[in-house]
Structure 1
């Protein structure tokens, strides 16, 4: 957990330097990114809000992810992760959004998407980046690795912005 909180603190410093706010949109991590961020004292200066959208209906209703996108690619897809991150920014006061959607296990695998598959999105203004990773381990391990990766990606994205 210390590594994850350290990543969140680094992201917070980078966000503060830019004067930006962050929003999260999480499915498989169940708010883990937002939890890590709010472990950092003073995060209210750079963290706006978090959406935990576990169901497809909440992804559509709260983040405006098009139902057709979910139907075509599945909730665990880079396309949906990107739309989630964009929806988090659009539905908040944030400048940048990060999203996670995946299969933490132990069940839920489908052909081409084994347990441990997690898709990520990072969005700012008119740019969105996505990535798909497969993590090993049990449910907790997958979720922790996903939170860490989401924050690492956020740091990379902030460096490029």
Structure 2
């Protein structure tokens, strides 16, 4: 049985409609999933070949498709095809500075707001975004390093003692070098 749900649309797939291969042969040839369409529901479901190979009862795609019924409406599949994910280059990969909205606890980024190559542009964009999103956890990162953020950070560990502030009169007294005897 397959469940009707919307497949993710941010991937590009190469499609083949021949089912003469066994599931293991298709996996060895680089195919990644079986896509099954349900016309009454209007959805497409991708079932990974790894998941199909775990089932010892099936060996060929046609056997799988013949036994399937839609989980929601009970209809037979209107179409089925093998898919292979095509790797697309990430256009944001080379943009080192990223401004992101983070989860409320500051554990992970939720939304990418801006990305740039230039540190000055990144800082200006960060400053411009803060008034637009008050009380939201916003962070500026250079790759993995967090440069600036608005979310609360944990206090330092108890074994770290802050340095004492220098008294004003000590700052103005110049240091004198001792003469060697």
Q: Report TM bin, short chain.
A: under 0.3
Q: Return the index of the structure with the highest Cα Rg.
A: 2
What is the TM-score when the length of structure 1 is the normalising length? 0.25
Structure with the larger RCO, 1 or 2 (CA within 8 Å, 6+ apart): 1
What is the TM-score when the length of structure 2 is the normalising length? 0.23
